[in-house]
């Protein structure tokens, strides 16, 4: 459990009441963002994303496997994450807990329900072989708002992903070839998270703000400006007006964010 | 489920050493792969290090000495050293399953035992020092590169140590003893000898072997490994000294910058030059002491600074 001093907590709250933030940002300002793609040569795709001092490394591995019975002509995209203790003194060893699972599932839903990757493109032979696209997220430094950084890392890694070509032999087996093709991808979904403290709702909470947070809402905006996923967290409610405001603000923030991210 | 082929057949048929005595990646028999070291790369750890050794990419984080949970593991007369070695799922050709494997458990153990002799365990009874190692990309010899990084991360955390440990593998490929096996040399070579040492103390703290070697070949591998470890140790020292030179420069600037700025605002470049020179001479002085007795060398450095 992260702790925060009483004086810092009070400072954050009283600044927010005046419409200010501890690090000087406005309520709709995201910390500086940067992305390095192709960090890991053994991964089929990889990227490290930074938002302020928060760093997440995403790697993509491709496997050839069977489709799910209810979607025989669609490939599979699965995102998982691990909060290994290198990223924070409060992360503990052991199987993924609540936070790691929520993180992976929110990022996963954003990608899964977006139009960016067509899952029928990932079908090799209907009912028999499809590509499994496995995105793994590793946090390198937690300075707040892991969800948004992880979503940037994941889509940036997918943009660079190479699919090994597969030949179906006469015996009906799948043979993985040395040659590759690029994974086709449209404008990616991006997730924007708002924190709520009292009546203040602000984007991209940093670590200090997260420790005071009463609730947050993450909104994945797809390439065509539709909403692909939403997650509300925390035992403090939002009003309907607050939620619709957040969606409007998220859409504007994502437009700006896209300009700062790699295009392919 | 059909997995990707793990090894390229073509590679296995190529000789590992060519007619001119060069290895597949162009190295001589006793040559290390390129190594890059960094300290303080993980912003939330108490100490951290990053190593690129060949294509290995490994980060190590150190926390502590800190309170130990669960409590029943506490030892009343010494600190517990906990070392965890993990590989990212995408660090190898075929995706590694996320749960820790038998291999990772064993390597965690030998790494702990490689580092433990360097610590003064009785300084921190009942506490824990945690060392977390994450292999982001593996390229043969990742456990040896992990020792090098973990030892640096412990030093970066300011934990007093008897010395630095560094690691490298030696082995045998195409009938010849060689230093620092690459991934492919490890997989299709004749023998692999992972080794870690505190070279200035002459202590071997990690030693494993698999394959087939004559006793004479084994001693040659050991000799070659020790030579390689000496070279890596020099790089470890250099990166730590660099870190402290930078801190010293920063502190120095903060102390006298306002004064100098007021007097001669235009001559900033000259001042920096002087400062770099000073840092360099101090670097030389401090060299033999930094790793052995971090406490005493620290007080000495501080003393020399006030003199100047």
Distance CA A90, CA B65 (A): 15
Q: Is the pLDDT of residue A147 over 70?
A: yes
- Which residue in B90, B93, B138 is closest to A46 by CB distance? B90
For A71, the 3-state DSSP assignment is: coil
Give the model's confidence band at A150: pLDDT under 50 very low, under 70 low, under 90 confident, else very high.
very high
Backbone angles phi, psi at B261, to 5 degrees: -60, -40
Q: Where are the domains of chain B?
A: 18-238, 242-307
Q: Give me the pLDDT at residue B255, please.
A: 57
* pLDDT of A41 higher than 80: yes
A178: nearest CA partner in chain B: B8
Residues of chain A in contact with residue B55, where contact means CB-CB under 8 angstroms, are 41-42
- Judge whether B176 and B162 are in contact, CB under 8 Å: no
The dihedral region occupied by B26, where left means phi > 0, alpha psi between -120 and 50, and beta the remainder, is left
State whether A65 and B89 contact (CB < 8 Å): no
Q: Are A149 and A203 in contact (CB under 8 A)?
A: no
Chain B nearest-CA distance from A243, in A, is 33
Contact A86 B48 (CB under 8 A): yes
Q: What single-letter DSSP state applies at residue B297? A: H
Tokens representing residue A169 in the block: 């032999």
Min Cα–Cα distance to chain B from A217, Å: 25
Residue in A158, A150, A143, A148 with CA at minimum distance from that of residue A257: A148
* Contact check, Cβ <8 Å, A66/B1: yes
> Does A138 sit behind a cis peptide bond, omega within 30 degrees of 0 on the bond before it?
no
Find where tokens 């456990």 sit: B143
Q: How many angstroms separate the first and last alpha carbons of chain B?
A: 69
The pLDDT mean for chain A works out to: 94
By CB atoms closer than 10 A (0-12, 13-18, 19+), residue A261 is middle
Q: Which residues of chain B have pLDDT under 70?
A: 1-13, 253-308
Which pLDDT tens digit goes with each residue over B269-298? 444 444 444 444 444 444 444 444 444 443
Distance from C-alpha of A34 to C-alpha of A44, rounded to nearest angstrom: 21
Q: How open is the CA angle B301-B306-B308, to the nearest 5 degrees?
A: 95
For residues A157 and A20, what is the distance between their CA atoms, to the nearest angstrom?
Answer: 34
CA angle A201, A203, A208 (to 5 degrees): 90
B116 phi and psi angles, rounded to 5 deg: -55, -40
Q: What angle do CA B26, B30, B33 make, to 5 degrees?
A: 55
Q: How far is CA A27 from the centre of its chain?
A: 21
The DSSP letter of residue B178 is E
Judged by a CB distance cut-off of 8 A, whether residue A182 touches chain B is: no
Exposure class string for B180-208: b at 16+ Cβ within 10 A, else e: bbbbbbbeebbbbbbbbbbbeeeebbbee
- Look at residue A155 and tell me if it is in a domain: yes
Please enumerate in sequence order all residues whose Cβ is within 8 A of that of A170, keeping only pairs 6 or more positions apart, or say none.
none
> What are B24's two structure tokens?
């597949």
Compute CA A17 distance to the chain's CA centroid, rounded to the nearest angstrom: 30
Q: Which residue has the higher pLDDT, B298 or A18?
A: A18
From chain A, pick out residues whose CB is under 8 angstroms from the CB of B104.
Answer: none
Above 0.85 for ipTM, yes or no? yes
A136 pLDDT tier (thresholds 50, 70, 90): very high
Best of B56, B65, B88 to substitute, by most chain A Cβ atoms within 10 angstroms, is B88
| A135, β-bridge pairs | A60, A79
- Answer yes or no: is A264 within a domain: no
Q: How far apart are CA B153 and CA B127, in angstroms?
A: 18
H or E, element range at A192: strand A190-197
Among the partner residues A41, A87, A136, nearest to B44 by beta-carbon distance: A87
What integer pLDDT is reported at residue B260 of this predicted model?
Answer: 46
Using the structure block, give the residue that is written with the tokens 């309520």. Answer: A27
Buried b / exposed e across B28-46, counting CB within 10 Å, b at 16+? Answer: eeebbbebebbbbbbebbb
Q: 3-state class of B100 per DSSP?
A: coil
Q: Tell me: the pLDDT tens digits for B86-114?
A: 999 999 999 999 999 999 999 999 999 99
End-to-end Cα spacing for chain A = 38
Domain containing A126 — which CATH number? 3.30.230.70
Does a structural domain hold residue A1? no
CA A92, B141, B2, B101 torsion-angle sign: negative
pLDDT greater than 90 at residue A158: yes
Interface test with A, best of B44, B50, B150 (most A CBs within 10 A): B44
Tokens of B22: 């060069």
Q: Which residue, B78, B89, B162, B151, is CA-closest to B119?
A: B162
The alpha-helical segments, DSSP class H, found in A1-68 are 6-17
The number of residues in chain A equals: 264
Backbone angles phi, psi at B15, to 5 degrees: -70, 145
What value does the CA radius of gyration of chain B take, rounded to a whole number of Å? 22
How many structural domains are present in chain A?
Answer: 1
Domain B18-238 in this protein, CATH class: alpha beta
- By C-alpha distance, the chain A residue nearest B85 is A84
A174 touches chain B (CB under 8 A): yes
Do A134 and B95 make contact, defined as CB atoms within 8 angstroms? yes
Residue range of the domain that includes A71: 6-259
Smallest CA–CA separation between B216 and chain A, in Å?
36
Residue range A227-255: average pLDDT? 96
**B272 vs chain A: nearest CA distance in angstroms?**
29
Among candidate residues B297, B15, B56, the one with its CA nearest the CA of residue B173: B15
Which tokens in the block code for residue B157? 């955390």
**Residue B81, min C-alpha distance to chain A (Å):** 15
Spatial neighbors of A105 by CB under 8 A, at least 6 apart, are: A79
Task: Compare all CA atoms of chain A with the CA of B10 and give the residue at the minimum distance.
Answer: A178
**What digits encode the pLDDT tens for the residues A210-239?**
999 999 999 999 999 999 999 999 999 999
**Strand (E) or helix (H) holding A193:** strand A190-197
* Dihedral in degrees, nearest 10, Cα atoms B235, B239, B240, B243: 170
Contacts of A93 in chain B (CB under 8 A): 84
- Candidates A131, A166, A148; CA nearest to A219 is A148
């Amino acid at each position: 459990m992260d702790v925060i001093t009483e004086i810092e907590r009070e400072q954050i709250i009283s600044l927010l009441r005046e419409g200010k933030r501890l690090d000087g940002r406005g309520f709709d300002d995201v910390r500086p963002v940067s992305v390095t793609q192709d960090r890991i040569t053994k991964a089929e795709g990889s990227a490290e994303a930074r938002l302020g001092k928060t760093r997440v490394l995403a790697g993509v591995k491709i496997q050839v496997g069977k489709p799910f019975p209810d979607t025989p002509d669609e490939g599979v995209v699965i995102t998982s994450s691990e909060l290994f203790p290198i990223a924070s003194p409060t992360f503990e060893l052991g199987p993924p807990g609540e936070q790691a699972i929520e993180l992976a599932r929110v990022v996963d839903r954003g990608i899964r329900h977006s139009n960016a990757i067509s899952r029928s493109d990932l079908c090799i032979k209907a009912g028999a072989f499809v590509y499994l696209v496995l995105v793994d997220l590793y946090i390198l430094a937690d300075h707040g708002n892991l969800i948004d950084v992880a979503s940037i890392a994941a889509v940036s890694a997918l943009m660079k992903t190479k699919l090994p070509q597969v030949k179906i032999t006469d015996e009906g087996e799948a043979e993985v070839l040395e040659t590759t093709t690029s994974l086709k991808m449209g404008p990616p979904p991006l997730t924007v998270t708002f924190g709520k403290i009292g009546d203040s709702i602000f984007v991209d909470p940093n670590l200090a703000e997260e420790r005071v947070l009463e609730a947050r809402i993450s909104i994945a905006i797809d390439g065509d400006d539709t909403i692909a996923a939403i997650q509300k967290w925390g035992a403090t409610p939002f009003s309907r007006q607050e939620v619709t405001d957040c969606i409007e603000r998220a859409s504007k923030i994502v437009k700006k964010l896209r300009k700062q991210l790699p295009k392919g | 489920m059909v997995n990707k082929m793990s090894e390229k057949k073509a590679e296995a048929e190529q000789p590992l050493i060519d007619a001119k005595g060069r290895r597949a990646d162009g190295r001589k028999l006793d040559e290390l792969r390129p190594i890059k070291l960094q300290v303080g790369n993980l912003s939330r750890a108490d100490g951290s290090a990053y190593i690129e050794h060949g294509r290995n990419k490994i980060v190590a984080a150190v926390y502590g000495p800190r309170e130990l949970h669960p409590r029943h593991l506490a030892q009343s007369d010494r600190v517990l050293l906990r070392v965890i070695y993990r590989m990212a799922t995408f660090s190898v050709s075929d995706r590694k399953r996320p749960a820790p494997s038998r291999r990772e458990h064993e390597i965690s153990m030998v790494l702990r035992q490689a580092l433990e002799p360097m610590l003064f365990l009785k300084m921190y009874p009942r506490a824990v020092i945690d060392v977390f190692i994450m292999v982001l990309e593996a390229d043969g010899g990742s456990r040896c590169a992990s020792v090098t990084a973990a030892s640096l991360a412990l030093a970066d955390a300011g934990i007093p140590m008897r010395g630095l440990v560094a690691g490298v593998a030696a082995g045998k490929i195409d009938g010849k003893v060689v230093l620092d096996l690459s991934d492919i040399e490890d997989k299709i070579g004749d023998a692999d000898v992972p080794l870690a040492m505190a070279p200035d103390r002459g202590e071997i703290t990690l030693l494993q072997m698999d394959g087939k070697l004559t006793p004479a070949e084994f001693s040659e591998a050991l000799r070659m490994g020790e030579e390689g470890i000496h070279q890596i140790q020099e790089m470890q020292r250099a990166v730590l000294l660099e870190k402290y030179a930078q801190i010293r420069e920063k502190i120095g600037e903060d102390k006298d910058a306002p004064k100098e700025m007021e007097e001669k605002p235009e001559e900033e470049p000259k001042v920096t030059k002087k400062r770099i020179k000073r840092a360099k001479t101090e670097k030389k002085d401090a060299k033999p002491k930094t790793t052995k007795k971090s406490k005493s060398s620290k007080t000495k450095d501080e003393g020399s600074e006030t003199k100047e």
